[in-house]
Structure 1
Amino acid sequence: MSHTTASLAAARWSISTVFLLNGAGIGLWAAHVPVVQARTGIDTGTLSMVLLTIAAGALLAMPLMGGFTARWGTRRMTLLSGFAFAALLAVIMGISDLRLLFLAAFAFGVSNGALDVAMNANASEVETARGVPTMSSFHGFFSLGGLLGAGLGGIFIGQGWGDGQGALAMGVLTAMALAAAAPRVLAFAPSHEGGSHFQLPRGAALGLGLLALLCFAVEGALVDWSALLMQERTGALPATAALAYSAFSIAMAACRFAGDRMILRFGALRVMVLGGLAMFAGLATAVMSTHFLLSAAGFALIGIGAANVVPLLFGAASRIPGMSAGAGVAAVATLGYGGLLLAPPVLGYIASQASIMVALGALSLSGLVIAMSARIIQRHT
């Protein structure tokens, strides 16, 4: 299916809008988690089960979405899952009943996992049609959306709209923005009309997925453990220690917007190798330093290194011979999301037996593995 330069340009910005909206929704939910906990009166253990239910929904949807995008196309599945995500965004943050919260959490996870695969598959098709690196900027819009959503969440809660009013408004705005972008989200010919609806990682997808698992494991670890590390190593107060993750997030978002130009200039292999080495050096610095600014710089370096690793892996996954774009992305995303889910509790166990320094120090080796395995990218670029 051929597309004009103008239609591809419009498609690029339309699917970028979808990435931005998805990131904003996740950021809004992150800001509302303490509010939902307080309103439902649940303890930390039950809250952990709610978050695990969201992850379980996403893990179920991701491999299934590979088959759905292959049969019905990435455009249709992106829009369907996007509207479902917008609706559930308006629902999950206004629930007070615990049983309904678990049901909404599972459905929210399903919609997010489905949207993650579908929009990445469509984005990879746009990138292939344009013939120039574009995937990093798509993920940059997701990161920007996350920062925007978290900021809006804080404003909504501060204004007394944390009872679901703010989430409802955000859900409506998300649906309206999706409807506006929909006409310019391009349809590409489905790759496998009769393919399986369940795609497990295998072959090249397995190798790419394991690297995604390592990168997502680092991201997941920083969400839960970066502030604690800063408190233990630098003596920072809790509010100040939280800036470590902000340094990581801002550096990642900025570097993703520069990533496409970097890939064009230096090549995917070099960007992947340098990204892995930066992740290793940044985490090692953060673990060993006892100075706040140096540790924060280490977290920023992790963000710079990790910024373009996942976009490169997803782009390569979409071009695996014999697999549709959706199936390849689904396989890699499933393993990657597994790393995001499993890393924090595993590291917590290691920290309980040794220390958080030992746990994160061991995780820093993930960057070296990514750098040494970067040649897998060359086979699918």
Structure 2
Amino acid sequence: MTTMNDDAMNDGAMNDGPMKGGAALARPPAHVEAARWAISLVFLLNGAGIGLWAAHVPLVQARTGISTGTLGFLLLTIAGGAIAAMPMSGWLSGRWGTRAVVLAAGWMFSLMTAVLMNIGDATALFAAAFVFGASNGLLDVSMNTNASEVETARGIPTMSSFHGFYSLGGLIGAAVGGIVIGAGFGDGRGALAAGVVFAVAIALCARFILAVPPASHGSHFAIPRGPALFLGLLALLCFAVEGALVDWSALLLAERTGAEPASAALGYSAFSVTMAACRFAGDRLVLRFGAVPVMTAGGIGICAGLLLAVTSTHFLLSALGFALIGLAAANVVPLIFSAAARVPGMSAGGGLAAVATLGYAGLLLAPPIIGSIAAHSNIAVALGVLSLAGIVVALNARVVKR
């Protein structure tokens, strides 16, 4: 077996079926394997761009002279651009094919990575931030859709490894950003060089990216409903957990364990590293145990990790809780995205666009909601409430099985 059609895949490893248990699998064709590594590189570059931006945020704020409150609106503008563009990505992929959209969005993202970190005017910065977010939204949906096409062509669970490359890229981008800034190139020259490298890398792998004719059936642009809505709400909960940890994990460790700021930042690092590592093992876990058990275990782990993190007053135990969340959540979103590409009545791009848009809404909504709850109680209670998200995911794990 070298390829697999949609029906066979829906009955196979992607949905908890006969591929689990270590069954022997034939090697996919060479061009499909090349396509796998090509789109993996795109995932890595996308994550690296986001990590590079994260490292430059304080410098951009200082260069433009914007306040912390204005910086918050700038970050919101980036997220707003992504959410606005995601539904369009599904439509464009349905019209031109995912390969064309991946390449166009990838080059646009490379350009905006360089531009965003070289702007000194606050007004221009907001315009660039919106376009940067839009390019990221277009790329996010199109590369995930192309990844689902590669997964279908391989006939083997692969989505988790793609997201693993994204996580790895984020870590690399943040590390490179720190090195660039330390070397004195944080004035935008380092970001400009990175943008050029990104664009060249995408050009070099362009011919290997899988080209699948645009779907002639299914909705490419639609308001989420039915299975897409349900998958989107689960994605929203998972992204909400991640968004809350970005903004509030360090504060939790400082308040609950008395950790110094430098040590408190390690909580989110523990989450990020274990998530990246587990994503590279995720495809084999799905192949061995099936999608539904992996999804169920992920939900339980999210709940247990959050409860451990918020109830412990010992730094190492709380950090272990964050690491457990990373392990548990690592493969939940890839499974949701993989299922979104197979929603009946929708093209792969349309389903992914609908689910990803709702998921990103979780990143936007969770931090302020957690902050509001914390203002009326404390941060431990606020993050503890999020443990319910893990329970919801575990109880509805079968949604990834069509």
Shift in Å at residue 44 of structure 1?
0.6
CA contact 2:53–2:117 (8 Å) conserved in 1? yes
1:141 aligned to which of 153, 165, 183 = 165
Contact preservation (8 Å) 2:220, 2:347: no
TM-score, normalised to structure 2, is 0.92
Distance in 2, Cα, partners of 1:197 & 1:134: 23
User: How many percent of aligned residue pairs carry the same amino acid?
Assistant: 68
Task: Output one character per residue of 1:296-338: Cα deviation in whole Å (capped at 9) or x when no partner.
Answer: 1000000001000000000000011111111011000000000
Alignment of 1:47-126 (within 5 A): 47-126=71-150
Could you tell me which of 179, 193, 207 is aligned with 2:230? 207
Q: CA deviation at 1:198?
A: 3.4
* 1:290 paired to 2:313: yes
Superposed counterparts of 1:171-182, under 5 Å = 171-182=195-206
Q: 1:233, 1:133 → 2: CA distance?
A: 40
* Residue 162 (structure 1) aligned with residue 163 (structure 2): no
Q: Determine the structure 2 residue equivalent to 1:236.
A: 259
In the alignment, what sits opposite 2:15? none
Alpha-carbon displacement from aligned partner over 1:67-114 (angstroms, at most 9, x marks no partner) = 111111000000000000000000000100011100100000000000
Q: Give yes or no for contact 1:79–1:182 (8 Å, CA) kept in 2.
A: yes
Equivalent of residue 315 in structure 1, options 316, 325, 338: 338
For the residue of structure 2 that corresponds to 1:26, the secondary structure is: helix
C-alpha distance in 1 between matches for 2:94 and 2:220: 8
Segments of 4+ in structure 1 off by > 6 A?
A: none
Structure 2: which amino acid aligns with 1:375?
A: R
Query: How far apart, CA to CA, are the structure 1 residues paired with 2:216 and 2:174?
Result: 38
List per-residue Cα deviations over 1:111-164 (Å, max 9, x = no partner): 000000000000001001110000000000000000000000001111111111
Whether 1:340 and 2:363 are equivalent positions in the alignment is: yes
Q: Which residue is 2:25 aligned to? A: none
**Hey, what's the Cα distance between the residues in 2 that align with 1:326 and 1:345?**
30
Query: Which one-letter code corresponds to 2:223 in the other structure?
Result: L
Give the distance between the partners of 2:364 and 2:381, measured in 1 at CA.
Answer: 20
Give SS of 2:401's match.
helix
Tell me whether 1:32 sits opposite 2:56 in the alignment: yes
**Corresponding residue SS for 1:349:** helix
Is the CA contact 2:219–2:345 (under 8 Å) kept in the aligned structure 1? no
Question: Is 2:241 the partner of 1:218?
Answer: yes
Matched-pair contact (CA < 8 Å) for 1:66–1:199: no
Distance 1:373 1:131 in 2: 25
- The answer on whether the counterparts of 2:220 and 2:346 sit within 8 Å (CA) in structure 1 is no
State the match for 1:251 in structure 2.
Answer: 274
Report the AA paired with residue 352 of structure 2. Answer: V
Residue in 1 that maps onto 2:390: 367
**In structure 2, distance between residues paired with 1:196 and 1:147:** 36
d(CA) in 2 for partners of 1:245, 1:108:
24
Count residues with an aligned counterpart: 377
Structure 1 contact 67–199 (Cα < 8 Å) conserved? no
1:44 to 52, 63, 68: 68
Indicate which of 368, 380, 389 corresponds to 1:357: 380
TM superposition shift of 1:189: 1.5
Letter in 2 for 1:60: A
Preserved CA contact (<8 Å) 1:275 1:308: yes
**Residues 230 and 236, structure 1, Cα contact 8 Å, conserved in 2:** yes
2:304 corresponding residue in structure 1: 281
- 1:42, CA displacement in angstroms? 0.7
Residue-by-residue CA offset, 1:325-370 (whole Å, 9 max, x unaligned): 1101100000000001110011101111111111101011100000
Query: Which residue identity does 2:336 align to in structure 1?
Result: L
> Alpha carbon RMSD of aligned pairs, Å?
1.2
Give distance in 1, aligned partners of 2:216 and 2:318. 48
CA-CA distance at 1:64 after TM superposition: 1.3
Residue equivalent to 1:268: 291
| Residue of 316, 323, 340 corresponding to 1:300 | 323
Q: What is the identity, as a one-letter code, of the residue corresponding to 1:233?
A: R
The residue aligned with 2:24 is: none
Equivalent residue number for residue 325 of structure 1:
348
Which residue pairs with 2:174 in the alignment? 150
Q: Identify which of 12, 34, 39 aligns with 1:15.
A: 39
Name the counterpart of 1:198.
221
Cα distance per residue 1:27-70 (max 9 Å; x no partner): 00001001100111111111011111111100000011111111
Kept in 2: contact 1:64–1:199 (CA 8 A): no
The answer to whether the 8 A contact 2:374-2:381 is kept is yes
Deviations 1:265-284 (A, max 9, x none): 00000000000000000000
Structure-2 residue corresponding to 1:187:
211
Q: Alpha-carbon deviation of 1:197?
A: 6.0
Post-superposition Cα deviations, 1:215-243, rounded to whole Å, max 9, x if no partner, equal 00000000000000000000000000000
Separation in 1, partners of 2:88, 2:203: 25
Structure 1 contact 280–364 (Cα < 8 Å) conserved: yes
Partners of 2:220 and 2:336 lie apart in 1 by: 22
For structure 1, the residue ranges without an aligned partner over 5 or more in a row are none
Aligned residue identity for 1:215: C
Matched, 1:127 2:138: no
